[in-house]
Each structure stands twice: as C-alpha cells, then as structure tokens.
Amino acid sequence: MLQTICTPAAPAAIGPYSQAIRTGNLLFTSGQLPMDPVSGQLATGTVEQQTEQVLKNVQAVLEAAGSGLDAVIKTTVFIKNMDDFARINAVYAGFFPANPPARSCVEVARLPKDALIEIEVIACVK
C-alpha cells in the first residue's frame, strides 16, 4: 500500500507529485529545492545557504513520515556546478555526522526555479 506524505513544514509541490511516498518501511522523497516553506519563494544566497535550506526541507518531510535524517539510506544530489561540490559537502556533512548514507551527485544543466541544488532521499521509516 502507498501512503502519500504531505507537510506544511516543507515547500508544497510545484507540480503533479507528492512530497514523499511511503511503502512499507521505506520512504521515497521527491527532490527538495531550497524553497522557504512559508513563503514558497526560492531561498537566495550562496550554495551553502541553499544546501542548508534543502536539507531542512528534507528533514521536515522525513519527520512528517515518522522518519529522520539518521534513517536515510541513499541520497541523490543534483547540483548546478560541480565546482561547488566541496562547499556543498561541508554543509551536508553537518546534517549526516555519523554513518552518512550512500550518495550520488550529478551536475545538471538546470534545476527548477534556477536553484543551485536539489536533493532527494530514500529512508527507512522508524
């Protein structure tokens, strides 16, 4: 059975998709952008600031589903510029201080709303 996850603590979907879907004890999130969940506006600023906002949004979706960052199995990180990799890693490491999940990182030509970063995750539900 599939359960749709939706929380006002993370940005609303900007298209025909769910913030996350739970099936059994697995949770699959949609890509999270660096958007403010209250205003719905893209967070401006540095790639570090955008990365922090993205990970806060991921965390909010996980918590709404009864999970957390410590239960993330895999992340996929989409970035606009691979030259930002080290700067993104510095912020990312703060959200996953122990037993970081498996990860893929891909440079893409363009992200929705011209964001610098987008992250999707797969997690266990506690």
Rounded to 5 degrees, φ, ψ at 105 are: -135, 130
- pLDDT (tens digit per residue) in 42-91: 998 999 999 999 999 999 999 999 999 999 999 999 999 999 999 999 99
pLDDT at position 40 is 92
Catalytic pick from 64, 105, 122, 125?
105
Taking the whole predicted model, whether its pTM rises above 0.75 is answered as: yes
The CATH number of whichever domain residue 95 belongs to comes to 3.30.1330.40
Domain that residue 60 falls in: 2-124
Residue 126 — pLDDT band, cuts 50, 70, 90?
confident
Structural domain count of the chain = 1
Q: Please indicate whether residue 124 is annotated as part of the active site.
A: no
Question: Under DSSP, is residue 102 helix (H, G, I), strand (E, B) or coil?
Answer: strand
Of the candidates 52, 88, 66, 78, the one whose C-alpha atom is nearest the C-alpha of residue 20 is 66
